[in-house]
Amino acid sequence: MQQKKIFYGWTIVTVTFLIGLTQAGVFQNVLAIFLKPMAEEFGWNRSIITGSIAVGSLAGGIFSPLVGPYLDRHGPRKAAFWGITILSAGLIALSQLSSVWQLYLFFGTGRMIASSLLSLVVTVSVSNWFIEKRGRAMGISQLGRRIGIAFLPLLVQHIIISYGWRTAWAVLGIIVFAFSALPSLIFLKRRPEDVGLLPDGRAPEKNLENDAERADKKKQPSRFNLEDEPLWTRKTAFRTTAFWQLVFVMCVIYLVRAGANFHLFPFMTDQGLPPSMGVLVITVLSICAAFGGVLFGFLAERRGSLLKYSWDGF
C-alpha cells in the first residue's frame, strides 16, 4: 500500500510559522524591553522611542496596498527573503545606534516590513494553499508570532542584563535572519496549482463528483468546497459593505492593542515589579493567546471568521 504524502501546504504553514516567530522581533513587546536602558543612555523620553513604532506602522499601512498586488502576481518567496534580510540588517544596525534618526530609520523600516510585507506573506500564502482547512492552518501559522512575542522578550531581557542592550539588538537580528530568511527563499511557493496540486491536498479526481455527492457535501455547513470558494476582484471587494466593516474592525484592534502592548512592560516596572517578573507576565499572556489562536482557528472553520476576529481583538 502506497504511503500518502504529506500535503506541501503544511510546509508553507511551517515557513509562515517561522516568519511569524521572527516577525515578533519588531513588535511592541520586544521594543518595550529596550525602552528603559536606551532612554537612560541617551536621555530620550519615552515618546521619542514610541514614535518609531508609529512611523513604522503608518509606513506599513501605506506600503501594504502595493505589496498585495505584487504577492498575487509574483508570489511571496523573493519578497519574504529580501524583506527579512532588510529587517535583520536593521536590527543589527540598531546595535550601533547613536542618534534618534537612526532609531526611526532602522526600527521604523523593520516595523514597516513586518507589519505590511511579512504579515501579508503569512496570510496570503496560507489562504492560497488552504480552503477547507484554512482556519486551522491560519491558527497554526499565527502561533509562531505568539510564541515569538512570548519568548523573544525573555531572551532579550537576559542578554540585556548579561551583555547590554546593543548586543541584544545584534543577536535579535541574527536570530531573525537565521530562522526565517533561507526557509522562505527555499520553500515558499505562490499557489498549489503552480506545482500541480489543489488546495488542502485535495486529489484532482475529487472534482469529478456526481451531482448527488456535490449536493450532499454542500449540506455540511462546517465545510468549504473548492466549487464554493468565491473569487473577488479588488474593485468588487471595495464595493461591499463587509469589506469596509472588516477594515474598520482591524484598524480599531491594532489601534488599541499596539499602545497597550508597548506600554505594559514599562508600566509594570514603574509600579515596582521586577523586570524579570514583568517579562514573565508578557510570556504567560502570549502563551495563552497562542493556544487561543489555534483553538479559534479550528472554530472559525465551523462558526465563521467573526469568532476569530473577536479573539484577535482580545
- The residue segments making up the domain with residue 32 are 9-196+236-313
| Span 21-30, pLDDT tens digits | 888 877 777 8
Give the pLDDT of residue 305.
Answer: 53
Domain membership of residue 275 (yes or no) is yes
Residue 221 falls inside a structural domain: no
Cβ-proximal residues to 300 (8 Å cutoff; 6+ apart), any chain: 135, 138, 139, 307, 308
Q: Is residue 203 part of a domain?
A: no
Residue 145's CATH number: 1.20.1250.20
Evaluate whether residue 54 is within a structural domain.
yes
Cell readout for 210 is 456526481
Q: Cβ of 219: how many Cβ atoms within 10 Å?
A: 7
Residues in the chain with pLDDT values less than 50: 1, 206-209, 212, 214-215, 217-224, 307-311, 313-314
**In this predicted structure, what is the pLDDT of residue 224?**
47
* pTM (predicted TM-score): 0.78
Domain contains 135:
yes
Q: Would you state the pLDDT for residue 221? A: 44
DSSP tally for the chain: helices H, then strands E:
13, 0
**Domain-located, residue 227:** no
For residue 267, what pLDDT is reported?
79
Q: Is 216 a domain residue?
A: no
In a domain, 38, yes or no: yes
Residue 261: how many CA atoms within 13 Å on its side-chain side? 24
- Domain count for the chain: 1
